[in-house]
Amino acid sequence: MPRWSTLGFACLTLLTAGSAIAQAKVESTYADTLAPFLKRHCVECHGAEKSKGGVRFDGPMPDLIDVKLAEQWLTAKRMMAQGEMPPEGKPRPTADELTNVLAWIDDAAARAATITRGGIGRRALRRLTPREYVSTAMDVLGLSFPHFAPDLSKRLPTDTAADGFSNDSNQQSTQPLLLRRSLDLAEQLVDVALPVEPHPSPIRYEVDLREFVAKATDKPSKPKSIFVAYRIDVPAASDGQPSASLSLVGRWSGPNNGRRPQAVTRLDAKRGILLAPNPVIIGNPMECLMLKLPQVPNQGVLRLRARAGASIPAGETAPVLRLSIARQFTIVPIGEIVVTAPADGPAEYVLEVPLALVEADWKGIQRDGHLELQIDNAAALVAPTPLKPDDKRKESEIPTPARNELIVSSLSAEVVEAPSRSAILLAAAKEGETERERARRFLQSFLSRAFRRPVSESEVGSYLGLFDVERKRGVSFLAAYKASLTAALISPQMFYLIEPKDKEQRPLTAWELASRLSYLAWGTSPDEELRARAADGSLLREDELRRQLVRLLDDPRSYALCREFARQWLDLDSVLHIDQATVLAHLTIDRKEDIPWYEAVLRRDLVEESPRLLEELLRKNRPVESLGSCEIVVINDRLARFYGIDGVSGHQFRAVPAPADRRGGLLTQAGCIAAGSHGRERSEILRGVYLIERILGIDIPTPPGNVQPLDVQLNIDKNLRRLSPREHVETHSSVNTCAVCHQRIDPLGFVWDQYDMFGRLRRDKEGKLVVARTSGKLPDKTPFADIDEFRKRLIEPSSTTPRFADAFNRRLYAYVLGRSLDHGDDKHLSSIQSTTTKTEGGLRDLLTAMVLSEPFRKK
């Protein structure tokens, strides 16, 4: 086996500021820690006399730039972490020894990776995330559908980064499936922006629902069926079109059943149709309006106009006007909007839906020969109403709690050929302009927006060449032009933030800087003003860069930054997939159909709380520490009821004073606690891992595959239930190799002991608060008596272990730079933190300093 060279580490040192100190530290740690450890535990089997598997650990400090060596050392790290090395029967290293050795290998591997990609402060070619790609494509095509329900980004495959960010250029990959699905989506988006010619005949139906009520009550008759109560024909607004039909549909009952309404109670001669919430997606709806169109338009934009108001009882939330495509007892929601206009002052609400982007069973709908549109109220419960233990009535005898009502007085449904198209995408030819000149003119403008920079004549010529090829094939001008647009939308210049790399680091151009700034703040391409500042070069000035950042952060679109960063940093989306329920339907007096819908919407609210808090603190420039110690919560009506906070009404998130048990910012948010608990009954270890990795920024190795979670152990061995949670954790973590991690994890595992798996205060069977022991130790052995002291310790500075601000700053800086940090970033981050601390700056100041830093402005 070849002897190991120190050349790689020498090269790395030359690239690092303070190279002599850094190299001395690396070599000193190896000599003082690694070499003695290897001699005691590894050289006997992997040395000069015996090299098991051809692997030796008796040489000088390794250079992990060598791929083979890196694989050997990382394999050794995994085997030591899982207790497979040293082998059974040999002396076992202590937990502290293993901790230091594993940390050194991780650091060596990270330094080698830095050299491999070109040195410190360099990032790989950064691809747009699926959400950024969709937003960019919509923007450059001039499309906007704010109430369109489907999330188009979910049609594109994502990179699986368990503990990183989706914008990390060092972790991204480009799969063939991504290109295939992006092409499909790009073609659909271009079809929406530029519909095919000739355009289909316009479709439009209008109905005054007060007239619907008058016809239904003028000639009383039995309902058409148990579901269809009333039906009328709706003539088309234009001549030559067949009539549609409108029905009031629901699970109606007779006058003696308080659990279901009579259809007649939904008719109001003065106001129109009253719709209570319908939580059903699959099956017969609870109640809704069904508009059956005799045509099947699968292109163009479906526009629904509804004049509607809301009746909202005390303690209830606003109704949600939802539009869906219905077929065979299944609906595909395609648009929704919250209705807040009062019952006596209805307003017009408009939903626009691009039909080409709707994933419905179009083949089946074509066979049916008609398109059914369901209009209903999609509001979820604000909170379930518990069944009183002493209530002995049958379910059918218990009336359901009062709910909100969506009051619809008129409807208009039409299919238009396209949304309002900007002339910048394609307009009529100028006088004397050839079709090729027309195509060139608009291609040049489009390519500049799509590529986020001025385009060269050769680039325009390439896409114009595709236009020429398509025209020679005999396709129309529009089809050939659309082919060129589609090709641009799936080109590398669109997919990637192209920043050509020189041998040495260089300042970004104004256009490259504009893209970095816009995707950081808004998650989409630069707007007109930012492009103008890039064009005149003023964005390269620090004062203009600062001004533009302020402008972008002041815009509501900057919520994209808070949403993407917080959800990924805190792993909040995992809450959406917890299979446990917060409440059981049979323990409430609500309709059983309402509970699953409440669970789904509550989880979305839990996920949104952290980004909304970050948005609020960023807007007010509060200190970083406010994220871990805060006198406010940012919640809506549903979360207020979940937390037991009175006086909050409405679906909008807003800041309100926090009760005593919610003054820990992120640390006492139910969404974070639920994400850390993974829906487990005994989640102490999982919670400890979450806190140490997400909040303190300390990486913990993956446990061996044969380790069972604590609650699974409870099901296997019933005797474990005799142990307290702390005793169970101690038993589980008693092995040395396990203790490497558990000596840091376990002391944090009981911080959230007063909260259940969904972040509610834990109560006993009588409803009394459980007295919890939340004491523990930080990884540097600093003790804390309870969760309040834990929060105080987190925001204190420490020289021995990362505390909250240090970990948060590293996470945020990695997100800002679009890559994982390397050791060359430490000096910049230290300077940023020092400056922000001295000026008593807040989150805005911190983010501004990161944007103004050299790594953000250089390639």
- At 327, which CATH number? 2.60.120.260
Whether 462 and 582 map to the same domain: the answer is no
**The domain boundary residue, chosen from 498, 524, 544:** 498
Task: Quote the tokens at residue 315.
Answer: 């303690």
What pLDDT digit, counting tens, does each position of 321-361 carry?
A: 999 999 988 999 999 999 999 999 999 999 999 999 999 99
Whether 220 and 317 map to the same domain: the answer is yes
Res 412 pLDDT > 90: yes
What pLDDT digit, counting tens, does each position of 113-130 carry?
A: 666 655 556 677 899 999
Task: Quote the tokens at residue 61.
Answer: 């400090």
* Residue 3: predicted pLDDT: 32
* Residue 117: predicted pLDDT: 56
Res 198 pLDDT > 70: no
Contact 840, 622 (CB under 8 A): no
845-849 long-range contacts, Cβ below 8 Å, gap at least 24? 845/621, 846/624, 846/809, 846/812, 847/549, 847/553, 847/618, 847/812, 847/816, 848/546, 848/549
* Residue 680: predicted pLDDT: 87
CA distance 452 to 454: 7
Contact 731, 740 (CB under 8 A): no
| Least confidently predicted of 28-42, 253-267, 281-295, 526-540 | 253-267
What would you report as the CA-atom Rg of the chain, rounded to the nearest whole angstrom? 31
pLDDT mean over 372-378: 97
pLDDT mean over 695-723: 71
Task: Quote the tokens at residue 232.
Answer: 């009328």
Q: Is residue 527 included in any domain, yes or no?
A: no
**The domain boundary residue, chosen from 117, 138, 164:** 117
Q: Which range scores top for mean pLDDT: 383-397, 414-428, 640-654, 672-686?
A: 640-654
Structural domain boundaries enclosing 243: 203-386+394-416
Helical pair 95-116 and 67-81, crossing angle rounded to 10 deg = 150
Q: Is residue 28 included in any domain, yes or no?
A: yes
| Least confidently predicted of 100-109, 176-185, 410-419, 617-626 | 100-109
Name the percent of the chain lying above pLDDT 90.
Answer: 61
* Residue 258: predicted pLDDT: 58
**The domain boundary residue, chosen from 74, 96, 117:** 117
How many contiguous H segments (helices) and E segments (strands) does the chain have?
29, 18
Structure-model confidence comparison of residues 504 and 366, the more confident one = 366
Whether 765 and 620 map to the same domain: the answer is yes
Q: For the stretch 504-523, what's the b/e string if a residue is b when 16 or more beta carbons lie within 10 angstroms of its beta carbon? A: eeeebbbbbbbbbbbbbbbb
Res 375 pLDDT > 60: yes
SS3 annotation, 40-92: HHCCCCECCCCEHHHCCCCCCCCCCCCHHHHHHHHHHHHHHHCCCCCCCCCCC
Res 261 pLDDT > 90: no
Q: Is residue 590 included in any domain, yes or no?
A: yes
Whether 578 and 684 map to the same domain: the answer is yes
Name the percent of the chain lying above pLDDT 70.
Answer: 88
Q: Is residue 288 included in any domain, yes or no?
A: yes
Whether 568 and 647 map to the same domain: the answer is yes
Task: Quote the tokens at residue 305.
Answer: 């106009």
| Least confidently predicted of 440-444, 486-490, 558-562, 701-705 | 701-705
Whether 454 and 350 map to the same domain: the answer is no
pLDDT mean over 611-636: 96
Q: Is residue 167 included in any domain, yes or no?
A: yes
Q: Provide the pLDDT confidence category of residue 1 given band limits of 50, 70 and 90.
A: very low
Res 306 pLDDT > 50: yes
* Inter-CA distances, 808 with 111, 663, 805, Å: 22, 18, 5
SS3 annotation, 823-855: HHHHHHHHHHHHHHHHCCCCHHHHHHHHHHCHH
Q: Is residue 697 included in any domain, yes or no?
A: yes
Split into its structural domains, the chain has a count of 4
Q: For the stretch 679-718, what's the b/e string if a residue is b when 16 or more beta carbons lie within 10 angstroms of its beta carbon? A: bbebbbbbbbbbbbbbbbbbebeebeeeeebbbebbeeee
Report cis status (omega within 30 of 0) of the bond before 60: no
The distance of Cα 848 from the centroid of its chain, to the nearest Å, equals 23
CA distance 651 to 602: 12
Whether 101 and 141 map to the same domain: the answer is no
Strand partners, 272: 268
* Residue 448: predicted pLDDT: 97
Whether 189 and 253 map to the same domain: the answer is no
Q: Is residue 534 included in any domain, yes or no?
A: no
DSSP 3-state assignment of 118? coil
| Least confidently predicted of 514-518, 549-553, 583-587 | 583-587
Contact 319, 343 (CB under 8 A): no
**What average pLDDT is seen over the chain?**
87
CA distance 465 to 458: 10
CA distance 285 to 279: 8
Q: For the stretch 163-176, what's the b/e string if a residue is b when 16 or more beta carbons lie within 10 angstroms of its beta carbon? A: ebbbbbbbbbeeee
Q: Is residue 511 included in any domain, yes or no?
A: no
Q: Provide the pLDDT confidence category of residue 737 given band limits of 50, 70 and 90.
A: low
* Residue 125: predicted pLDDT: 87
Whether 103 and 180 map to the same domain: the answer is no
What pLDDT digit, counting tens, does each position of 759-804 carry?
A: 999 998 888 999 898 999 998 888 999 999 999 999 887 655 558 9
Cα–Cα nearest to 359, from 387, 388, 324: 324
Q: For the stretch 579-589, what's the b/e string if a residue is b when 16 or more beta carbons lie within 10 angstroms of its beta carbon? A: eeebbebeebb
Whether 110 and 190 map to the same domain: the answer is no
Whether 619 and 675 map to the same domain: the answer is yes
Q: Provide the pLDDT confidence category of residue 9 given band limits of 50, 70 and 90.
A: very low
Q: Dihedral sign for Cα 627, 628, 633, 635, please.
A: positive
Structure-model confidence comparison of residues 92 and 407, the more confident one = 407
Structure-model confidence comparison of residues 544 and 686, the more confident one = 544
Whether 621 and 490 map to the same domain: the answer is no
* Residue 220: predicted pLDDT: 56
Res 667 pLDDT > 60: yes
* Residue 664: predicted pLDDT: 95
